[in-house]
């Protein structure tokens, strides 16, 4: 168990066709269409044959036996999951998901040898603050679609014109419509540098960054690198665990007696993940390719792997359907299937396997830009303010809210947008 905990520690803290047309992003630099830095318009259109094959595979699912317990301690429960998969194979419509994406300005540009897909929505309000928002695993750009309106058009969502943002949402390398790395090296630090290149290429000389899950790790890396123009970062899964606490967790020790009530609760939440909910990460850190053979071949297997995390990590009492619709979840799962990114997305865990609680917490102290943190009650653990202040010396904003979980932008887009308005208010 101790060896497994050491493998898991990096994770907490840290045949598709489409249509593209060369173009220039409004407000971006002048480029030629053949240049590597060209920004090309992007539209999604999956061939009917691919969707028919997916439906055929779904409807041919070979089901396992039912769990022998009445709770979720053995994983995804058969009955409820069968209902989701039945809907996927009969009533779900990917074309509606395509339409949502294609209604937004989408682009592709090559950065450091890899095509990067992103959404860019500019506000109608003057002096909007540019923000780059990074998703995580098993999420995607679908996580952030609901926050585009409240951020770019705040006056329609209870805010003021001076709260407006220009919103840039990239797909991480190996995820969604971005390119799949063909060699090692695409970890959070390289992504952070690529995001700064992207923002500069779009013509932004000052901007902020936001992320949860892997997006938080990337945003932290941006904060350490502190490129010119980065005003600050906001994370909703902060890396705050002190080194001595991390060591106690890895050693399987009970919570130290010196901890406050909130610190003890955070310790117990992480210990619960270590002992009961973290096997998903252990296999991606050590054997992402082996795992992907099953996930790339069985849509129902892929869906079960991701649905388990939706249930665990939403603020829903273990039932993600209370806060996310079937279509919400299946849009995300279907994107992974159609882009065949189960392997390339899992490889990010392997890439980052030299990080752990101690190393990450120490590295946050190297962040040179202002940091804002929002703590959501359904997050994997609720970072106490005491730990957060030690981990982020440049902390300018810390707020605990009463709703939302690990997929906060997806679950509570209005609340999430309000947090970003407040977090970055002093940096405009």
- Catalytic residues, which ones? 213, 349, 406
Q: Are 1 and 271 in contact (CB under 8 A)?
A: no
Q: Are 319 and 264 in contact (CB under 8 A)?
A: no
DSSP result, 306-347: HHHHHHHHSSSTT-GGGTS-HHHHHHHHHHHHHHT-HHHHHH
Structure tokens at 413: 């887009």
Q: Which residues contact 248 (CB under 8 A, 6 or more apart)?
A: 255, 256, 267
Structure tokens at 311: 């249930």
d(CA 314, CA 411): 8
> 10 Å Cβ neighbour count for 134?
30
Rounded to 5 degrees, φ, ψ at 349 are -65, -45
Q: Could you tell me the CA-to-CA distances from 185 to 51, 174, 286, 348, 349 in Å, in that order?
A: 33, 12, 16, 9, 12
- Cα-Cα-Cα-Cα torsion 193, 195, 196, 200, nearest 10 degrees, comes to 140
Q: Which residues contact 62 (CB under 8 A, 6 or more apart)?
A: none
Helix 78-90, helix 48-59: angle, nearest 10: 150
Structure tokens at 272: 């619960």
Q: Are 336 and 358 in contact (CB under 8 A)?
A: no
């Amino acid at each position: 168990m101790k060896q497994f905990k050491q493998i898991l520690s990096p994770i907490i803290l840290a045949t598709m066709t489409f249509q593209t047309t060369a173009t220039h992003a409004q407000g971006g630099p002048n480029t030629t269409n053949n240049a590597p830095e060209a920004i090309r318009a992007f539209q999604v259109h999956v061939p009917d044959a691919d969707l028919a094959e997916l439906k055929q595979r779904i409807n041919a699912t070979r089901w396992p036996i039912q769990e022998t317990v009445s709770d979720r301690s053995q994983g995804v429960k058969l009955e409820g999951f069968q209902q989701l998969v039945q809907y996927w194979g009969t009533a779900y419509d990917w074309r509606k998901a395509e339409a949502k994406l294609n209604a937004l300005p989408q682009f592709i540009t090559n950065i450091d040898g890899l095509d990067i897909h992103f959404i860019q929505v500019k506000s109608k309000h003057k002096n909007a603050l540019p923000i780059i928002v990074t998703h995580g695993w098993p999420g995607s750009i679908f996580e952030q679609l609901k926050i585009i309106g409240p951020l770019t058009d705040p006056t329609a969502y209870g805010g003021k014109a001076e709260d407006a943002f220009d919103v840039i949402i990239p797909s991480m390398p190996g995820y969604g419509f971005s390119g799949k790395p063909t060699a090692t090296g695409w970890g959070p630090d390289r992504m952070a540098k690529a995001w700064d290149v992207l923002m500069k290429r779009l013509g932004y000389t000052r901007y902020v960054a936001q992320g949860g899950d892997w997006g938080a790790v990337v945003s932290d890396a941006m904060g350490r690198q502190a490129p010119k123009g980065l005003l600050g970062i906001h994370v909703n899964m902060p890396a705050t665990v002190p080194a001595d606490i991390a060591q106690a967790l890895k050693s399987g020790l009970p919570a130290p007696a010196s901890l406050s009530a909130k610190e003890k609760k955070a310790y117990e939440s992480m210990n619960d993940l270590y002992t009961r909910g973290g096997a998903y990460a252990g296999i991606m850190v050590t054997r992402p390719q082996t795992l992907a053979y099953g996930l790339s071949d069985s849509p129902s297997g892929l869906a079960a792997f991701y649905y388990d995390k939706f249930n665990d990590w939403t603020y829903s009492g273990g039932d993600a359907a209370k806060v996310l619709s079937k279509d919400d979840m299946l849009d995300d799962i279907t994107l992974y299937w159609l882009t065949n990114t189960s392997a390339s997305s899992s490889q990010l865990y392997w890439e980052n396997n030299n990080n752990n609680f101690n190393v990450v917490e120490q590295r946050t102290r190297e962040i040179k830009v202002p940091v804002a943190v929002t703590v959501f009650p359904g997050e994997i653990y609720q970072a106490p303010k005491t730990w957060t202040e030690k981990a982020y010396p440049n902390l300018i904003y810390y707020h605990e809210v009463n709703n939302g979980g690990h997929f906060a932008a997806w679950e509570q887009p209005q609340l999430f947008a309000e947090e970003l308005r407040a977090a970055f208010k002093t940096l405009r």
